[in-house]
Amino acid sequence: MKAIISGMRRGRKYTEQKIIRADESLLNTEMNLVSVYPQVRCQQIRGFGGAFTDAAGYVYSLMDEQDRADVIRTYFDPSEMGYTWGRTSIDSCDFSTEMYAADNDPEDTALEHMDYTRGEKYMLPMLRDAEKAAGHPLQMMLTPWTPPAWMKTNGSRVQGGSLREECAPLWAEYICRYIAHCVETGMDVRLLSVQNEPRAIQTWDSCLYTGEQEREFIRQHLQPALQRSGLDERLTLLAWDHNKERVQDRALEVMNDDFMKAAVGGVAFHWYAGDHFENLAMTACQFPGKRLVFTEGCVEHSVWGTGAELMGAIKYAHEYIGDLNAGADTFIDWNLLLDERGGPNHVGNFCDAPMMYDTVHRRLYKKLSLDYIGHFSRYIRPGAVRLGVSRFSDVIEATAVQNPDGSVVAVLLNPGTKKLYINLRMEDRCYPVELPAGGVMTAFMNAVK
């Protein structure tokens, strides 16, 4: 068995690659087992990626050619992180240098003057470079943070508010025209969510939808508009796009009849309210065949502070393992790149990113979270199938997949403060493994017999 381990020792990153031989004396052991069951086959994994926010693209534009190439190669080269997905906003979000919309004219009810230039200014050059490194178009998700201010009950892009009922048909058409333009530029749009964080009144771009409002907007306006434009055949529509604690609640409210079950392909979720892996698992059970897509997570400076690098890295691995085991099939991290403050953000809502660029000293920093996410995006390839796993205790976290090439990969996390000694078993082989405190390991179970 080949194993790749990442962790932290005396504040420094390290990576080890070694061969672990099966120990026949452990074949019948009952203790400290983590077992992989290749005959238990679950959801297919679609892939991993990150968000091309206006902020990420802006910071990218400030970098020299060498650093830009390093960022793109690390994330998108198939031999590195191997990201195959991206997400971007329809108009501005909080991680934009300013607020903007493609059409701010309340008199333009025919949407004749939509201008996409500002939204593409920083995002599109970064995306084009990423696709060159990947060797293919990235699969993209689009999400609106709010309709234009003139379509809302509060007349503002911020502080929540709701979509004005009389503007619902026009907003659905606006979304479709935005997507169609992106497709015309060569963007491979595959996912669309109705609204980012529809229960949050924010000081930045935000809009509220109850479950009933989201359902009826899809039923009466968005789905018909997608059908008229022919976009319904290329993309999957996702509900919710907010924290996990109410994933099933919103799924039940939105997909409440056969029409809505056909129109909505799954649920998008964030991590900011805690684990709630059980909520995902219940949703997967209640709605078999519907996709569960992780669409946002970051280490928030307001919650974690600015020095929690190892805790943040462990958080990513913990999240991805828990979500995978609960049925999630796609993982799109938040900002791909931020500056030294954790921005820019037009309301100062700063946070961490796996790569950050010091614009003052012109230096690129790669965070430990990059390595931990890489244990999933590098070694769990699109088309992989999750396998059954059991573990002796919650002191160890584990997931496993079979990749399209037949390789069986297990990812193990030790979130604790003490080294763990485990016995990793699959069928007639058992491997003794040491996993350092705070470390994550990828084990290639059928690489060496």
Query: Does one domain contain both 34 and 172?
Result: no
Query: Does one domain contain both 23 and 129?
Result: no
Q: Is the pLDDT of residue 91 over 50?
A: yes
State the sign of the Cα–Cα–Cα–Cα dihedral 153, 159, 160, 163: positive
Of 379, 409, 425, the residue at which a domain comes to its end is: 379
Asked if residue 57 belongs to a domain, the reply is: yes
**Residue 149 belongs to domain with CATH number:** 3.20.20.80
Asked if residue 34 belongs to a domain, the reply is: yes
Strands 397-402 and 408-413: antiparallel
Q: Is the pLDDT of residue 183 over 50?
A: yes
Q: Phi, psi at residue 214, to the nearest 5°?
A: -65, -45
**Residue 393 belongs to domain with CATH number:** 2.60.40.1180
Query: Does one domain contain both 197 and 314?
Result: yes
Query: Does one domain contain both 249 and 395?
Result: no
If you write DSSP's letter for every residue of 379-425 in order, what string do you get? Answer: TS-TT-EEEEEEES-TTSEEEEEE-TTS-EEEEEE--SSS-EEEEEE
Please give the Cα distance from 155 to 153 (Å, whole number).
6
pLDDT digits (tens, 9 = 90+) for 53-71: 999 999 999 999 999 999 9
Query: Does one domain contain both 267 and 179?
Result: yes
Of 331, 346, 379, the residue at which a domain comes to its end is: 379
pLDDT digits (tens, 9 = 90+) for 95-134: 999 999 999 999 999 999 999 999 999 999 999 999 999 9
Query: Does one domain contain both 298 and 418?
Result: no
DSSP classification of residue 220: I
State the sign of the Cα–Cα–Cα–Cα dihedral 52, 57, 58, 64: positive
pLDDT digits (tens, 9 = 90+) for 4-36: 776 544 344 545 667 788 888 998 999 999 999
Query: Does one domain contain both 172 and 257?
Result: yes
DSSP classification of residue 166: G
Res 400: pLDDT: 98
Asked if residue 197 belongs to a domain, the reply is: yes
Q: For a pLDDT cut of 90, what percent of the chain falls above it?
A: 90
Task: Look at residues 379, 334, 378, 270 and name the one whose alpha carbon lies nearest to residue 86.
Answer: 334
Beta strand extents in 244-384 (DSSP E only): 266-270, 291-296, 330-335, 338-339, 355-358, 363-366
**Which domain range does residue 331 map to?**
46-379
Asked if residue 147 belongs to a domain, the reply is: yes
Query: Does one domain contain both 393 and 375?
Result: no
Please give the Cα distance from 382 to 404 (Å, whole number).
8
Asked if residue 325 belongs to a domain, the reply is: yes
Res 303: pLDDT: 57
Asked if residue 449 belongs to a domain, the reply is: no
Which of 82-86, 220-224, 425-429 has the lowest average pLDDT?
425-429
pLDDT digits (tens, 9 = 90+) for 331-360: 999 999 999 999 999 999 999 999 999 999
Tokens 């090439």 locate to 405
CB atoms within 10 A of CB 25: 9
Q: Phi, psi at residue 87, to the nearest 5°?
A: -140, 140
Query: Does one domain contain both 216 and 285?
Result: yes
Asked if residue 186 belongs to a domain, the reply is: yes
Q: Estimate the share of the chain in helix, then strand, then coil, as percent rounded to the nearest 5.
A: 30, 30, 40
Res 161: pLDDT: 98
Task: Look at residues 426, 416, 338 and name the one whose alpha carbon lies nearest to residue 96.
Answer: 338
Res 308: pLDDT: 75
Tokens in use for 90?
Answer: 């329809």
Of 379, 401, 426, the residue at which a domain comes to its end is: 379
**Cis link prior to 415 (omega < 30° from 0)?**
no
Burial of 110 (0-12, 13-18, 19+ CB in 10 A): exposed
CB 298 within 8 A of CB 335: yes
Asked if residue 319 belongs to a domain, the reply is: yes
Strand ordering across the sheet containing 338-339? 338-339, 355-358, 363-366
CB atoms within 10 A of CB 251: 25
SS3 category, 305: coil
Query: Does one domain contain both 279 and 400?
Result: no
Query: Does one domain contain both 310 and 428?
Result: no
Q: How many residues does the chain have?
A: 449
pLDDT digits (tens, 9 = 90+) for 302-326: 555 555 788 999 999 999 999 999 9
The C-alpha angle with vertex 47 and arms to 320 and 284, in degrees rounded to 5, equals 60
Number of structural domains found in the chain: 2
Query: Does one domain contain both 268 and 346?
Result: yes
